[in-house]
Amino acid sequence: MQWTELIVFSALFLLVTVMGFLAARWQKGDTLEHLDEWGLGGRKFGSWITWFLVGGDLYTAYTFVAVPALMFGAGATGFFALPYTVILYPLVFLPLVRMWSVSRVHGYVTPADFVKGRYGSHWLALIIAITGIFATMPYIALQLVGLEAVLRSMGLNGSGILGHLPLFIAFVILALYTYQSGLRAPALIAFVKDILIYVVILVAIIYLPAKFGGWGEIFNDADAKFKATPAPGDGILLNANNQLQYATLALGSALALFLYPHSLTGILASRGRNVIKRNMVALPAYSLLLGLLALLGFVAISAGTKPIVNQATGRPDTNTIVPELFGANFPSWFAGIAFAAIGIGALVPAAIMSIAAANLWTRNIYKEYLKKNASPAEEAKQAKLASLVVKFGAVAFIVFIDPQFSIDLQLIGGVIILQTLPAVAIALYTRWFHLYGLVAGWVGGMAYGMYLLYLIPSADGSRKHFGGSALALEKLSLFGWHPFDGSKVQIYVGIVALTVNLLVAVIVTLIAKKAKAFNGTDQTDPSDYHVDEDSPRVKPVAAH
């Protein structure tokens, strides 16, 4: 047991817990018994708070733990996270501003609210809501993977249910302060999390390379390791077979990220269009940090770091690479700060994700199908309860499913959420797609995506199906025809599934328009997409 690290970790964890409970009084409105206040922080966060909140939401414990672990295990492929976050912000700059405006005019809380208003279809909204919840659950589970990796490195590595006890305690605390304070809790804690992360990473990328002979020596050690254990796709450079996968994974991840309900929650909580514009310009600062962070995977190779064996599964847990690197090479007190940074980095996005999933359940399932006349206070209570259910559902993922499988599920989550792109992102600009086309496209893209994912075995050979998201082109088939037969070049399944989705949507739309089928009623106006915070058309916060 690493007592010094554990004490420092616990002290910082206690600090953010107190902040989580006090957050209910921070910038508080008239009541927390409304989704605008509990689920969106009063829709009044300025540039700095939004920067920390969205950054805390997008750059998660999974990023800090799994990207370096992927670099450690597979080399250059893990670097896809860098171009993905570089191309992300120019892609979403204008769509997010339009989403904010139309949501403030109509009081939308979730992307499914917007879809219902745009197409007048509660069925299409239901599909979007279920897709969002389903894609978010494994993402929350992944925050637990990062938190457990830190706990294991401090010596809390038991087997069976007892091995997960520290995780249960951490998540009960998280559940309680999220229940009480809503989105204000992770927004306030994100300040502490980001400051800790910046300090730890800046120290790590200056101190550790100096300790191991500089970056040139580190790259040489990584190259020697990958050449000694040749495997397809491994190495400090990409090869002919994984370049397409790298490019499509970066593009697919960028298109998917702001379709996740938790990403939009941070945007809808901001005060105005200028706040979002400033953030889309400033958030790439995190990408610089991410690039440096990813290289810690190569530093771990140079340092001879070995992953801890997970007592629950009996297999080495590569997610412990960064915590082990820090624990072995930093003084105990600083390692404790580093562990707290990663642990708190798990709690902030987990809280935002559970709130976003709870908003979807409350607005688009509970109020739509179970209690149409629910009051704002009843909506808020339902969302609080749903956020608890979502969190403990994520804990169940970790306890009953091999965490390695949940990492694969996160990649599958990207394939799933991409299928909402035509109904959410494209609909912000045009209503050309027919309602029937959007539903048919979603069904086609989702079915084909799941079929392709089923064909992929895991890299270690332990599973025959759902083992990742990179598919060899030779496995692509169209009614038995294999257009790329024999090709070992890999591609990200999400891009293939989205292409099928769009093709089906276009074909069905053309047929439906020819048949003059009813295309729902658009409750939005073209001018709604340009309204700013000072407009009299903005719906008051917490209005009934």
DSSP 334-364: HHHHHHHHHHHHHHHHHHHHHHHHHHHHIII
The vertex-292 CA angle with 288 and 293, nearest 5°, equals 110
* Percent of the chain as helix, strand, coil, to the nearest 5: 70, 5, 25
Rounded Cα distance between 60 and 404, Å, is: 17
* Phi (first) and psi of residue 310, to 5 degrees: -75, 115
pTM: 0.90
Instruction: Tell me which residue of 409, 416, 407, 468 sits closest to 443, measured CA to CA.
Output: 416
CA 55-87-49 angle, to 5 degrees, is 20
Q: State which amino acid sits at residue 106.
A: H
For 45-100, write each residue's pLDDT tens digit.
999 999 988 887 787 777 778 888 888 988 888 888 889 888 999 999 999 999 99
Angle among Cα 200, 204, 208 to the nearest 5 degrees reads 160
Q: Flag whether pLDDT at 230 surpasses 80.
A: no
Residue entry with tokens 């370096």 = 68
The band of 150, judged by pLDDT with boundaries at 50, 70 and 90, is confident
* Domains by residue range for the chain, with CATH: 29-417 (1.20.1730.10)
Mean pLDDT of 513-527: 94
Structure-token pair, residue 111:
């992307």
pLDDT at 31 over 80: no
- What is the C-alpha separation between 346 and 36, in angstroms, rounded? 24
**DSSP SS3 for 470:** strand
Mean pLDDT, residues 105-111 taken together: 94
Does the pLDDT value for residue 411 go beyond 80?
Answer: no
Cα 182 from Cα 39, distance rounded (Å): 6
Residue 30 has a pLDDT of 65
Report CA Rg, the chain. 23
- Lowest average pLDDT, out of 47-56, 440-449, 525-534, goes to 47-56
Rounded CA-CA distance 286/89 in Å is 12
Give Cβ neighbours of residue 248 (< 8 Å, ≥ 6 apart): 491, 492, 494, 495
Give the tokens for residue 514.
Answer: 């020819």
Write the pLDDT tens digit of every residue in 39-60.
Answer: 888 888 999 999 988 887 787 7
